[in-house]
Amino acid sequence: MNLNTPISKIMTKDVVSVTPSQKLIDVKHIFERKHFHHHIPVTDNGKLKGMISLVDFLFAIQKASLDDEEEVYHNLFVKDIMREHPITKDSNSTLKHISEELAKGEIHAVVIADDGYLKGIVSTADVIRFFLKK
**Which sequence spans correspond to the domains of the chain?**
7-133
- pTM for the model stands at 0.87
Predicted confidence (pLDDT) at residue 35 exceeds the cutoff of 80: no
- How high does pLDDT run on average in the chain? 92
- List pLDDT tens digits, range 50-105: 999 999 999 999 999 999 999 999 999 999 999 999 999 999 999 999 999 999 98
107-112 long-range contacts (CB < 8 A, ≥24 apart) are 108/38, 108/39, 108/53, 109/37, 109/39, 109/51, 109/53, 111/41, 111/48, 111/51, 111/86, 111/87, 112/7, 112/8, 112/11, 112/88
- Beta pairing, strands 83-84 & 88-89: unpaired
Is CATH 3.30.365.10 the right assignment for the domain spanning 7-133?
Answer: no
Bigger pLDDT: 1 vs 97: 97
Q: Quick check: 36 pLDDT over 80?
A: no
Using pLDDT thresholds of 50, 70 and 90, give the confidence band for residue 1: low
Look at residue 37 and tell me whether its pLDDT is greater than 70.
no
Res 31 pLDDT > 80: yes
